[in-house]
Chain A
Amino acid sequence: MPPRLQGQLATNPLLPYISSSSTTTSSSLSNLPTQYSSQLISCSSRRTNRSFSSAPSSQTKHRNEMFAWLNTGGSRLKDHKPGRTNYLWPKTEAGLESMNRDLKSSHPFPLNKDYISQPILSEELRNEIHTRVVFKKQSIRSVSVDLGVDMRRVGAVVRLVTMEKRMKQQGKSLALPYARAVHEMVPTTPLYYDVSEHRQHPHESINDLPVHRLTDPQIFYPVSESRQFNRVDAGRVFSAAPALERREAAENATNPAEVISRITQNPSRIERVGKGENEQEVLQPADARIPHPHLIQYERLAQSRSTEPKKNREAYKQAIMQEETAEKERKRLAKERQEQQLTKVQPDSSRFEFRFKDVVVSKETTGPDGRGHKAPGRRYGVPSYERKKGQVKIPTQVQV
Chain B
Amino acid sequence: MVVRIRLARFGNKHQPFYNIVVAQARTARNSKPLEVIGTYNPVPQRPTNLSEEEARSARPYKDVALDRSRAKYWLGVGAQPSDSVWRLLSLAGLSESKEKAPK
Contacts and interface: CB of A to CB of B under 8 A. Distances in A.
A351 B35 contact: no
A359 B66 contact: yes
Q: Which 7 A-B pairs have the closest CB atoms?
A: A377-B36, A378-B10, A353-B61, A377-B19, A361-B67, A353-B59, A357-B65
B67 A359 contact: yes
A360 B69 CA distance: 9
B91 interface: yes
Interface stretch (A192-200, A202-210, A289-297, A341-349): A341-349
Interface string B9-20: 011100001011
Given A361-B70, A386-B12, 6 more contacts: A354-B64, A358-B67, A359-B66, A375-B36, A376-B66, A381-B32
A135 interface: no
A221 interface: no
Interface of B: 10-12, 17, 19-21, 32-33, 35-39, 44, 59-68, 70, 88, 91-92
B28 to A, nearest CB: 12
| Interface residues of B, dominant DSSP | strand
A358 B36 contact: no
Contact of B92 (A352, A356, A359): A356
Contacts of A345: 91-92
Nearest to B71: A361
Interface residues of A, number: 23
Interface of A: 343-347, 351-361, 375-378, 380-381, 386
Contacts of B63: 355, 357
B48 to A, nearest CB: 13
Contacts of A347: 91
Contacts of B66: 356-359, 376
Nearest to A378: B10
A360 B67 contact: yes
B44 A343 contact: no
Given A346-B59, A352-B61, A357-B66, A376 B17 contact: no
19 contacts: A345-B92, A351-B60, A352-B59, A352-B60, A352-B61, A355-B64, A357-B65, A358-B66, A359-B66, A361-B35, A361-B36, A361-B37, A375-B36, A376-B19, A376-B38, A376-B65, A377-B19, A378-B39, A380-B32
B72 to A, nearest CB: 12
Nearest to A360: B67
A344 B54 CA distance: 15
A331 to B, nearest CB: 12
A359 B91 CA distance: 16
Best-surrounded residue of B21, B63, B65, B68 (most CB of chain A within 10 A): B65
A344 B59 CA distance: 11
A378 B19 contact: yes
Given A377-B39, A378-B17, A357 B91 contact: no
A344 B64 CA distance: 10
A349 B65 CA distance: 21
A378 B68 CA distance: 18
Contact of B64 (A356, A378, A380, A386): A356
A231 to B, nearest CB: 36
